[in-house]
């Protein structure tokens, strides 16, 4: 099976992916953040680096999802299906041009078409972690990446607010695979082991309903 996680910045995707990978005994493919040569530049100058950043992410996610599709059991802590959300937001903010948007969307469509020829054509389950804006900011502060901090770049507050606001509609429209929601406000699976156990049980129940585990 292939499980993909989704959610806004700081939702806890990587933490849940790691726990779920250990729980199910499967490999986890993580978002290319720590070794990303463009991400820090983007936070400094979104208009200059937005398109390059999204192409970088698209390339890395396409590689990850192809590798995941070839194996029996894998987890992606963010997938190619969310990427367009960020590109469209940068287009709304004037950070990418209409030509760049069109090129990106054509490239994404070609990539998704190629995935149709893979042994597995789509994920088995998408897990969306729903958190409040306040929880999102709390998690971003807690993980401590300097370029993500509002204190050093007050404009990020507006950007984070925009990103958070895009997700409900994106999740509602997502129809590539079965999906489920985890309430990341009331179930603090990052800090609370009991909450994590409850979340893993919820996921197990969903996987059983889909006949993916016994």
Binding residues for ATP: 7-15, 139-143, 187-189
Question: Judging by DSSP bridges, how do beta strands 2-6 and 125-130 pair with one another?
Answer: parallel
Residues linked to residue 179 through DSSP beta bridges, in sequence order: 126
Sequence-separated contacts (24+) of 191-194 with Cβ below 8 Å: none
Residues linked to residue 183 through DSSP beta bridges, in sequence order: 130
Query: Which residue ranges make up the annotated binding site?
Result: 7-15, 31, 43, 54, 78, 83, 139-143, 148, 187-189
Q: Which of 34, 40, 72, 77 is catalytic?
A: 77
Known catalytic residue at 77: yes
| Short-list 34, 118, 33, 23, CA closest to 75 | 23
Query: Which residue ranges make up the annotated binding site for substrate?
Result: 31, 43, 54, 78, 83, 148
Tokens representing residue 33 in the block = 């953040």
What residues act catalytically? Answer: 77
């Amino acid at each position: 099976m292939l499980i993909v996680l989704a959610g806004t910045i700081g939702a806890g995707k990587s933490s849940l992916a790691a726990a779920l990978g250990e729980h199910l005994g499967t490999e986890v493919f993580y978002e290319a953040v720590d070794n990303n040569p463009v991400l820090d530049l983007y936070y400094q100058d979104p208009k200059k680096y937005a398109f390059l950043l999204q192409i970088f992410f698209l390339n890395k996610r396409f590689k990850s999802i192809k590798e995941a599709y070839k194996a029996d059991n894998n987890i992606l802590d963010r997938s190619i299906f969310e990427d367009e959300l960020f590109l469209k937001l940068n287009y709304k903010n004037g950070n990418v041009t209409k030509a760049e948007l069109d090129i990106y969307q054509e490239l994404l469509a070609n990539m998704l078409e190629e995935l149709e020829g893979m042994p597995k054509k789509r994920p088995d389950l998408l897990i969306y972690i729903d958190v409040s804006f306040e929880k999102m900011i709390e998690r971003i502060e807690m993980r401590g990446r300097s370029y993500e901090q509002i204190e050093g770049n007050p404009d990020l507050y507006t950007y984070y607010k925009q990103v958070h606001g895009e997700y409900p509609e994106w999740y509602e429209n997502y129809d590539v695979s079965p999906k489920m929601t985890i309430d990341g406000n009331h179930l603090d699976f990052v800090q609370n082991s009991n909450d994590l156990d409850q979340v893993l049980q919820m996921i197990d129940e969903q996987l059983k309903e889909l006949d993916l585990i016994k």
